[in-house]
Amino acid sequence: MRALALAAVLLFGAPDAALAQDVKVSKTVEADATTTMVHEILVDATPAEVWTAISTAEGWMGWAVPMARTVGGDPDLIESSYDPAATPGGPDTIRQRFGARVPGSSLAFRTVKAPAGFPHWDEYQKVTSVFELEAVGARTRVRLVSRGYPGSDGGRSLVGFFEGGNAMALGNLRQRFATGPIDWAAMRR
């Protein structure tokens, strides 16, 4: 668990409870013993604006990570890092593979590469996540549904880690539209 906590600090920096405020989180243990976790928040932006933020490398840099780029020109494979100076393919990079897309509505993805030493990587590879967007007046309800956390000690550690990490990320997404892109340099201080 200590290694997972260290990974959290390396990945996200020190947690800011204010950013995760108002993110609703629910967890369900499924019949196959895996856990499904849902994070939900309202964002002051249209679904089209949120779509750009979640579906492009440029968009991710405004709320999720300080460095993101497509890999080999493939818009469905994004490499990112919490280190703005990360080298392509380097040990501290993360790769997300986008799957099913319904523009302005939903985006499925899976992490296909984690930073070197990320705890329980063999179990996290089994998790699939989906962003679901829904217009609520002039705002957008963003739901992040993550399925397949294994019913093991490692899976439970991952649920604990991503319960807070995903809440903070969605808080960043809300902040991105409230006050502008995240100032990554300030967060690292």
Domain ranges in the chain are 2-13+23-180
| The two structure tokens encoding residue 94 | 């993360």
CATH superfamily of 2-13+23-180: START domain (3.30.530.20)
CA distances (Å), origin 126, targets 5, 93, 120, 174: 21, 19, 11, 28
CA distance 189 to 187: 6
**pLDDT (tens place) for every residue of the chain, 189 residues total:** 434 443 443 344 434 555 566 899 999 999 999 999 999 999 999 999 999 999 999 999 999 999 999 999 999 999 999 999 999 999 999 999 999 999 999 999 999 999 999 999 999 999 999 999 999 999 999 999 999 999 999 999 999 999 999 999 999 999 999 999 998 888 776
pTM: 0.88
Among 12, 28, 7, CA closest to 167: 12
Torsion angles phi and psi, residue 30, rounded to 5: -80, 170
Among 165, 155, 173, 125, CA closest to 8: 165
| The two structure tokens encoding residue 174 | 């809300």
Q: Which residue has the tokens 């957008």?
A: 140
